[in-house]
Copies of this chain bind each other. A is one copy, B any other.
């Protein structure tokens, strides 16, 4: 039987513990091709590289397992993996395991989830996995079976056109996980501050800091699921249109 071709990327960089674990899990399911950034790319969102040329560095190139780093973003990695290494479409793209949450608003800043959306737009079934611990020493133990189950289900069932999955995993002891909840993105936001400092030359500089706030009290959200010891699965697609606002703006009679 033909083994599925699985493209793997992330935004924490090719040496992050999270992607190493994801590679191990996916090698049990299919032929794996890794193309991931050569350095951390957190917060890069859907950025693409337009001002410098892209380069790939071969790390492993066997028949059933290939691994390359690139100097670009997570989205660049997806494009390079498909066009240059696989020379076609993988059967599945997985991204992560991200060190830190991509629930609620975090998805918009996330390079991990941008890679997943990029694949979905290109018609590739795709899943992003994140664990709620920013540390490079995050404990992934016990997550493996859930990750494998979700990936196998996507390979078996496919996903609706243009749709991908955003999976977040709580940091509790995995034996305490109550199950998997399919849910919507919570309406959360970051209450941000700049940490204002002066350099030795007395010039101001700023570090962005912030605290996540979940203003969404609904119980069908990813934040609710995670706070209640579930793994959250949000089906995600790229359509920014605010359909309900079209009639509102038409009332302004902009052509009058």
Residues of A at the B interface (CB closer than 8 Å) are 40, 42-51, 53-56, 76, 79-80, 83-84, 105, 107-109, 114, 117, 121-122, 149-150, 153, 157, 159-160, 162-163, 165-166, 179-180, 182-185, 187, 189, 192-194, 196-197, 203-208, 233-246, 248-250, 252, 254-255
Tell whether, in the assembled complex, residue B197 and residue A53 are in contact, meaning their CB atoms are under 8 Å apart.
yes
Instruction: Chain B residues near A46: list those with CB within 8 A.
Output: 45-46, 108-109
Tell whether, in the assembled complex, residue B55 and residue A240 are in contact, meaning their CB atoms are under 8 Å apart.
no
Instruction: Chain B residues near A234: list those with CB within 8 A.
Output: 240-241
Tell whether, in the assembled complex, residue B43 and residue A48 are in contact, meaning their CB atoms are under 8 Å apart.
yes
Secondary structure class of chain A's binding surface, majority of residues? mixed
Tell whether, in the assembled complex, residue A236 and residue B240 are in contact, meaning their CB atoms are under 8 Å apart.
yes
Tell whether, in the assembled complex, residue A184 and residue B246 are in contact, meaning their CB atoms are under 8 Å apart.
yes
A214 to chain B, nearest CB (A): 14
- A158 and chain B: residue at smallest CB distance: B248
Instruction: Chain B residues near A180: list those with CB within 8 A.
Output: 254-255
